[in-house]
Structure 1
Amino acid sequence: MFTARFSPRVYETDAFGHINNTVVPCWFEAAREPIFRIFTPEMDLKALNIIIARIEVDYVAQIHYGHEVTVHTGIARIGNSSFVVWHEAFQRGQLVAKGSVVHVYFDFSQQKSGPLPEPLKAALKEHLRAE
């Protein structure tokens, strides 16, 4: 499991004084950087050969400005050409959001998905969440 911390910023609030719902997927993406480094340790974005097929976010509780948010991230499932990443966000010890992202291993030169290479599968398995 990976952990990332975010300090909500004033401009991330909405008209109701809560953190805007569009911010959480951005935090989740930033929290996936360690997973991206499995595919390209140097974070060469041109070498990052995965794409997003699906994003789900469940907003469990209100998120407020002024209190740090901690996001836990790991691997939920590994398939032949895709893998699912899970996220859970906490503020002041309370679960405030959770979600998942389906990434597909993608060959940009062929413009199609392909099988995940075994070394990448093995690296992802190290972060697989126990059921």
Structure 2
Amino acid sequence: MGVVRLFTPDHSFDNWKMIILNINVDFVDQIYFGQHVSVYTWMKKIGKTSLQLYEEIWQGERLCAKGTVVYVNYNVKDQKSEPIPEMIRRELETHLYKGEQ
């Protein structure tokens, strides 16, 4: 699932819907340049007009970073947030994070 693709299927900046409201990252171990990393993303919360993702970056067996980002479904033309459409909400709910942080 690509969150941005759900809200803006054509990736057109003229129709862009997702804006970042807040980012929080905790670096818990060193990340080494030139070595493979894996990024895992889950839906943490879904509000009326916004959503919060929880993400982890792993290198090998080590958790190196974790954090959250809040996106708002935003109408740039009208300069206001909009409710998340029900069809998109249902898809987002299939990716809710159920683990401990």
Is residue 32 of structure 2 the alignment partner of residue 47 of structure 1? no
Map of 1:127 onto structure 2: 95
Q: Is the 8 A contact 2:16 2:76 kept in 1?
A: no
What is the percent sequence identity of the aligned residues?
37
Map of 1:13 onto structure 2: none
Map of 2:5 onto structure 1: 37
> 1:46 and 1:76 mapped to 2: Cα distance?
28
1:46 deviates by 2.7
Map of 2:29 onto structure 1: 61
Map of 1:74 onto structure 2: 42
> Which sections of structure 1, spanning at least 5 residues, go unmatched?
3-33
The number of aligned residues is 99
> Which sections of structure 2, spanning at least 5 residues, go unmatched?
none
Ranges of 4+ aligned residues in structure 1 off by more than 4 Å: none
Greater strand content: 2
> 1:85 and 1:126 mapped to 2: Cα distance?
13
Residue in structure 2 matching 1:96, options 61, 64, 84 = 64
> 1:101 and 1:124 mapped to 2: Cα distance?
15
Normalising by structure 1, we get a TM-score of 0.70
> 1:126 and 1:45 mapped to 2: Cα distance?
27
Greater helix content: 1
> 1:84 and 1:106 mapped to 2: Cα distance?
14
Which range moved further: 45-54 or 91-100? 45-54
Q: Please tell me the residue identity of whatever aligns with 1:79.
A: G
CA RMSD of aligned residues (A): 1.4
Normalising by structure 2, we get a TM-score of 0.89
Q: Secondary structure at the match of 2:95?
A: coil
